[in-house]
Amino acid sequence: MSTVLTDRRGRTAPAPGTTPGNAAAPPRRTAWTPTLILLLGAVYCLIPILWVVMAATKSSNELFTTFTFAPGSGLLHNLADLSHYRDGVYWQWMANSALYAGVGALLSAALSGVTGYALAKYRFRGRTALFNILLAGVLMPPITLAVPQYLLMAKAGLADSYWSVLLPSIVSPYGIYLARIYAAAAIPDEVVEAARVDGAREWRLFRSVALPMMVPGLVTVFLFQFVAIWNNFLLPYIMLGDDHKFPVTVGLYSLLQQGANAPALYTLVITGALLSIVPLIALFLGLQRYWRIDLLSGAVKS
């Protein structure tokens, strides 16, 4: 099991070959150069996040006058302003994002699981063709799909509804692809055969034998989809007109566009941006153990 963000190396670091044949423990000198370069990279990645934390504490007139990394005095005021903006529509956006990403990712993981299992564990006519068609779906530029999707949704009377954002995000070719790799790796054929010999029906076999084995991989699919849907902008931006249904990405964008004419809104945009990344970073740090990115690395073996 290689987890990604916790450092449990499966092997011991080889002794530095300074004195070959020396049986004594190698000296534990720190490799300073790589350490420092990586820390520089970390600082570069953290700067915008630190900036938004600081900027969210500034009042509108501090924003453009005080040094950027100096904290301001307006955090509570900004939070209150944001909560009062159009009767608290910001919190509605956050709730919408949670709904779209939570429900969408859950359905997506379930669908990816059953589809990936069938593609990995059965031999049937049309399997390769089907898989290739699904993969082509990954390559479709989202807007190519979103424009006709919107027109079709409008014809069905579903445009500007929660469904118009939820439904298209359930099928994730990428999630199916990951689930297939995981099913192939995690479910031994012997186990499936043994259950069949015991007379298990195909659905029961999937439910009680295969699915439990696939759970860790499906959690990864869920996380990927959750981040993808939470971060998605284009689809909800095209589908929705009523700002009470906006997810937080589209909501912030609409705030920013108004801010171009009313700089007072900038502090709201910044405070909103900060709050919008808190749940994702929490999800990220809390569920580090479940990010199985090794699925991706082993993916190009033909």
Partner 1 sequence: MASHQPSPTRRLAPYAFLSPAVALFALFFALPIGYAIYLSFRAVHVKGLGLGAHARTEVWAGLSNYTSALADPELLAGSGRTLLYGALLVPTMLGAALFFALLLDTPRLRLGAFSRLAIFLPYAVPGIVASLLWGFLYLPTVSPGYFLLDKAGIGGPDLLHGNGLFVALANIAVWGGTGFNMIVIYTSLRAIPAELYEAARLDGASELQVALRIKIPMVAPSLVLTFFFSMIATLQVFSEPMTLKPLTNSMSSTWSPLMKVYRDAFVQGDIYSAAATSVVVATATLVLSFGFLKLVNKRSEGGS
Q: Segment contacting partner 1 (CB under 8 A): 80-88, 180-188, 213-221, 277-285?
A: 277-285
Tell me how far, at minimum, the Cβ of 288 lies from partner 1, in Å.
Answer: 8
Q: Write the DSSP string, 115-177.
A: HHHHHHH---TTHHHHHHHHHHHHHS-HHHHHHHHHHHHHHTT-TTSHHHHHGGGT--HHHHH
> What token pair was written down for 109?
């993981």
- Span 107-146, contacts to partner 1 by CB under 8 A: 111, 114-115, 117-119, 122-124, 127, 130, 133-134, 136-145
Tell me how far, at minimum, the Cβ of 91 lies from partner 1, in Å.
Answer: 17
* Residue 218 interacting with partner 1 (CB under 8 A): no
Which has the closest alpha carbon to 223: 162, 275, 292?
292
Note whether 93 and 247 are within 8 A (CB).
Answer: yes
- Span 20-39, contacts to partner 1 by CB under 8 A: 20, 28-31, 34-35, 37-39
* Residue 190 interacting with partner 1 (CB under 8 A): no
Residue among 1, 10, 25, 129 that touches partner 1 (CB under 8 A): 10
> What token pair was written down for 105?
């990712």
- Count residues binding partner 1 (CB under 8 A): 116
* Residue 260 interacting with partner 1 (CB under 8 A): yes
Tell me how far, at minimum, the Cβ of 221 lies from partner 1, in Å.
Answer: 13
* Residue 170 interacting with partner 1 (CB under 8 A): yes
Q: For residue 2, give every residue at least 6 positions away whose Cβ sits within 8 Å of its Cβ, in sequence order, or none.
A: 10, 294
Dump strand ranges (E) for 161-273.
none
